[in-house]
């Protein structure tokens, strides 16, 4: 496990450096605190100013991590002098939280593994976020895109889930375009052989990190409420996946209470932080799977059901023979063959797309932030117009639930606009159609086939209850 405050270079085998080679500067943190940066031979150590002031002996010992052994009185004096004359470096910052920099036009993004994606060459960003091996990357992005696209293009549920998983990356800028984004949960419900976990824990997760494995990107519900809420901070501006809701607790009532509380905390954007850590809000998208729809185990009061309707969207297969695929993907004999292809592609290619998309978004924001917002705003308007929900109207619940689908389409549109993904690979096979619009629209409209709006009855297939 990477130690907090160390750069990648600091993990190399130690080379003893003289305190005379040490340089010290003071940095501002994204948490409004000050930090000391210790550097020697290209290696860095970050320590909070409070620690440096109050526990100097501990800091002297920590310097061994960058090869500085301050043992003698002369060496300790030299280090102390460096600390006392340190000046603030305005071209560097300490990032203590995951996600985008908290600015209207962010310059960097701290990924879940602690690495920094930076669009400003002159800005040095030092992350104190601990490294997580399960949020890893490997392979080739083009091979990943081509392999995934063969299976999910024109498939309404898979492609919606795929782009929904990337919505946290555009949500802050869609909100800046007048869109009221909320933290939502999509739930896939079905028997074990329906590939519900494969579509979430493998397909959606592979854009961010390792696919479905014991040390993969996704977690499961078998943890305390406190731990789940800590994950809200760990996955800020990320996708959070919790597999198998039935593992939340063996007692059905306790499980229901736990899930309901999690959904409300998720939606509010507020959660309980770790002990000793200041309270922070979070912005995430969440995916879950279950053999049993959550609404069946939750309290039956109308108030609870209505509150849940605007926060949780369940994709439930109505029959044992139903599938989350409308048809067998082109080029494959069966859905099983298509999913085997997904497993093969994501085994060696993962954790690349989200990183590339973040880099492209940051670069585009630095060049023309209004253009980014304009693309998102236009896509949102197109989607809502297509489903006849340009405004909340008389069905506020339906309008709020449509937002995640609209944002999924906007996420795809911006990815194509920036060139992160290719339209010809991910878009519909029929020419003249907007990429992904028909598939994501169909996913939403099928779910709401009993809507009173006449616009929602042009084409439906029986997939969900």
Exposure string for 433-452, b = 16+ CB within 10 A, e = fewer? ebbbbbbbbbbbbbbbeebe
Mean pLDDT of 12-30: 81
Q: Does residue 66 form part of some domain?
A: yes
| Structure confidence by residue, pLDDT tens digits, 168-216 | 999 999 976 667 778 999 999 888 778 999 999 999 999 999 876 678 8
DSSP 200: I
pLDDT of 430 > 70? The answer is: no
Q: What is the pLDDT of residue 115?
A: 94
122 in the same domain as 162: no
Q: Which residue has the higher pLDDT, 255 or 87?
A: 87
Residues 175 and 295 in one domain: yes
Please report the pLDDT score of residue 457 as a whole number.
33
- How far apart, in whole angstroms, are the C-alpha atoms of residue 182 and residue 286? 11
**Within-domain flag for 463:** no
Looking at residue 198, its pLDDT comes to 94
Mean pLDDT within 162-168: 97
119-128, 249-258, 344-353, range with the lowest pLDDT: 249-258
Tens of pLDDT, residues 102-117 = 999 999 999 999 999 9
Residue 393 confidence class, pLDDT cut points 50, 70, 90 = low
Separation between Cα atoms, residue 236 and residue 110, nearest integer Å: 10
Q: Is residue 422 part of a domain?
A: yes
Q: What pLDDT band is residue 301 in, cutting at 50, 70 and 90?
A: low
Q: Other C-beta atoms within 10 Å of 209: how many?
A: 27
Q: Are residues 65 and 204 in the same domain?
A: no
Q: 398 falls in which pLDDT band (50, 70, 90)? A: confident
Please tell me whether residues 105 and 151 are part of one structural domain. Answer: no
- Is there a single domain that holds both residue 170 and residue 94? no
Looking at the structure, tell me whether residues 289 and 431 fall in a common domain: yes
Whether 59 and 208 map to the same domain: the answer is no
In this structure, the answer to whether residues 92 and 164 fall within a common structural domain is no
Residue 80 lies in a domain: no
Structural domains of the chain, count: 2
Q: Are residues 261 and 316 in the same domain?
A: yes
3 assigned to some structural domain: no
**The pLDDT value given to residue 390:** 66
Q: With respect to residue 1, please indicate whether it lies within any of the assigned structural domains.
A: no
CA dist., res. 121 & res. 107, Å (int)? 10
Lowest-confidence pick of 8-12, 25-29, 445-449: 8-12
Which residue range(s) make up the domain with 261? 141-457
23 and 153 share a domain? Answer: no
Mean pLDDT of 393-406: 80
Domain membership of residue 94 (yes or no) is yes
Q: Are residues 49 and 161 in the same domain?
A: no
Q: Do 121 and 157 fall within a single domain?
A: no
Per-residue pLDDT, 321: 67
| Domain annotation covers residue 409 | yes
Q: Are 384 and 390 in contact (CB under 8 A)?
A: yes
Q: Above 80 in pLDDT, residue 119?
A: yes
Range with the poorest average pLDDT among 133-142, 255-264, 346-355: 255-264
Which of 199-208, 215-224, 277-286 is least confident? 277-286
* Mean pLDDT, rounded, of the chain: 84
The region that residue 279 occupies, defined by phi over 0 for left and psi between -120 and 50 for alpha, beta otherwise, is: beta
């Amino acid at each position: 496990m990477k130690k907090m405050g160390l750069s990648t270079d600091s993990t190399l085998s130690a080379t003893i450096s003289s305190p005379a080679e040490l340089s010290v500067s003071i940095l501002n943190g994204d948490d409004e605190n000050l930090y000391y940066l210790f550097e020697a031979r290209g290696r860095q150590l970050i320590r909070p100013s409070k620690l440096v002031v109050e526990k100097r002996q501990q800091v002297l010992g920590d310097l061994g991590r960058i090869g500085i052994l301050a043992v003698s009185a002369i060496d300790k004096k030299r280090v102390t002098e460096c600390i006392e004359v340190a000046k603030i470096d305005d071209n560097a910052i300490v990032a203590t939280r995951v996600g985008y920099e908290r600015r209207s036009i962010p310059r960097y993004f701290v990924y879940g593994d602690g690495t920094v994606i930076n669009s400003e060459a002159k800005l040095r960003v030092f992350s104190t976020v601990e490294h997580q091996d399960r949020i890893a990357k490997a392979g080739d992005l083009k091979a990943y895109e081509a392999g995934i696209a063969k299976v999910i293009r024109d498939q309404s549920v898979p492609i919606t889930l795929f782009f929904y998983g990337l919505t946290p990356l555009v949500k802050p800028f869609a909100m800046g375009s007048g869109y009221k984004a909320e933290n939502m949960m999509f739930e896939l419900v079905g028997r074990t052989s329906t590939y519900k976990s494969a579509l979430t824990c493998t397909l959606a997760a592979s854009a961010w990190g390792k696919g479905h494995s014991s040390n993969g990107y996704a977690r499961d519900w078998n943890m305390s409420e406190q731990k789940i809420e800590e994950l809200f901070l760990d996955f800020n501006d990320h996708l959070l996946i919790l597999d198998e809701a039935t593992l939340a607790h063996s007692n059905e009532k306790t499980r229901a209470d736990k899930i309901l509380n999690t959904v409300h905390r998720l939606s509010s954007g507020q959660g309980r932080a770790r002990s000793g850590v200041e309270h922070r809000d979070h912005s995430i998208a969440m995916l879950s799977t279950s053999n049993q729809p959550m609404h069946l185990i939750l309290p039956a009061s109308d108030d609870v059901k209505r509150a849940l309707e605007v926060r949780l969207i369940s994709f439930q297969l109505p029959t044992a023979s139903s599938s989350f695929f409308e048809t067998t993907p082109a080029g494959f004999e069966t859905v099983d063959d298509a999913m085997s292809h997904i497993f093969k592609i994501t085994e060696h290619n993962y954790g690349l797309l989200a990183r590339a998309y973040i880099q492209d978004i940051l670069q585009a924001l630095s060049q023309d932030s209004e253009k980014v917002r304009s693309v998102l705003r236009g896509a949102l308007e197109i989607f809502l117009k297509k489903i006849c929900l340009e405004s909340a109207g008389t069905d506020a619940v339906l309008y709020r639930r449509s937002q995640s689908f609209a944002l999924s389409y906007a996420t795809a549109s911006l990815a194509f606009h920036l060139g992160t993904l290719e339209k010809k690979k991910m878009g519909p096979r029929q020419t003249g159609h907007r990429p992904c619009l028909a598939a994501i629209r169909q996913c939403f409209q099928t779910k709401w086939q009993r809507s009173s709006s006449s616009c929602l009855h042009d084409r439906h297939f029986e997939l969900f209850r």
